[in-house]
Chain A
């Protein structure tokens, strides 16, 4: 019986009332059993949530795990401090050990483990595992950043993975790609309560009402990691991370909230840190305000700038509003001034390009950069004035694929082009209907002369193949998000040539389905 049939059978038998949604009042063990009965699974305890690595640098990578024998419990029945051993080796069997050590997992941080391993060699794969409480974790694979001139880099982005909207076949695909690294662009979890409608309109559901407390956010992260494909993708590649709004709450601004919201935000940020391979040891602040923005290099080929568009933003639509915050904006502009000759990639959670819904119409969403017009013009004007070339912006949030060529001033047809933005399909989070996409794709194309392409009927992830001469974006799509094993195919490919502004679609895939394509 496949999972969909199982869900239907369970629904017919009335079992879903107990199993999905995960009824409030279940013990953590019962909730886990209910989740597992309908498709979720976990690694063996205590490493139920798997392993991960992140923030790869030439000599260092951050390793992560969390001890969670009962993943759906707010607090673990463990000693207050648990000793955790870690091993890094040059081979999958962990026989050629290059680094090992011991660290502490504290209940105050959800028994999460973050280890910054140093002394590694650039551009190399390494394998790693943890040991605690007499058990050994699965073995993860990671890679350090190369140095010097390199001929190629291949990486992926993922974004928007609403648990209830589908299985993570996209992450299964990412795990199987031959990648240097992965960037998550945000909306890793969703904060809202149960959506219902399982199994006809949703394959699974959240484990309770809207999340507010640290315990709530911990359980939600653990629920999402109950999809084995997500754990596989983490274990297969190092990740860079940014976030969007749903890691806390829809459309929030990081500043200006009252005490109850600030308490909620701190809980959400802490839980995010506890569940992510995030390096937080170099900044000027401290938890529970992790510092996300950073610049990293992949050899001399690629400079990656990770942006945080949530922590420091003001309210939308203010004349002097900010999406970056003053300090991050100054840091970004300084980085632009000092940028080396390389591809410049910005990990940008939410759409940078202007997007009007119809000719003469208003902006679609002002939660994105369209709500921060003066700052966008200032930043893009600075890009142009500084002479920065080869800028590619990678974006999530929209649940649909867009390709935009970026102008300093989108309302001025003659305004200079300064780069290209690729907005990727979501992993699972629901897009507009096919009818909406068919009707509105052409309207958006007409209203936004910089928009090259729109496709909103599919789900997946993007893979980027970067050489000194060309930046290529392959839009990987899955066949059916209701199928955890759904196969992956390439819908289309866009290229940007080095030293030239503007993108173009690969002639070999130009006939692929889309709801708008500027010919």
Chain B
């Protein structure tokens, strides 16, 4: 019997045209956990996240809270699952407050008004991500890290029990990478929110996620705790670069180091000789 509020995927398959993007991916994630989806470019990470969040119409194989995603109507799905995508620059200068307020949408009927309770949930969410002094600032003028935290605040106002993020620390400097991931981990552990995100940095994934999935060419190569998933042989096999994995003690930081091959062979044709000579 599965837990309530758990994310279960059974044999997820996705084929676009002739290309098999995902093959028989299975996972089971319980509430309040942080899951990192890892893998090289083109492994199917983004597609898996889209299927897990109901953005890609998939089979009946994904369920949240013991109910298939396809059985949710769009509004009730949005009450359960929040998605944090990178925002393209909006032509209209929305401020942080207006962006965060949009999280109310799935909980409001067309004619209902914004209540004092809603105001409080918006200001609480903004405080929780540490952006109280930026409330009236236009969203596009915020730094990458602040924008990411603003979108997480929107997910909090959405009161979703599952937050799905596609590469949330991309383009962020080291300080903001840690800040955003620390925030997500504390939300998961303190508010019992399930977090699923794709990451490229294996060290960050190892140190901030409770559960990892390693994908390669649409196949789930391994899943489990960071210690179970991140082994040198497996990473070398998936990323095709020699590596070394270390952890000095049980609670010490996990560390993965890649060693680039001595000679990088470039698959570039030699420049054509100048015919004018």
**Bound together:** no
A: residues with CB less than 8 A from B are none
B: residues with CB less than 8 A from A are none
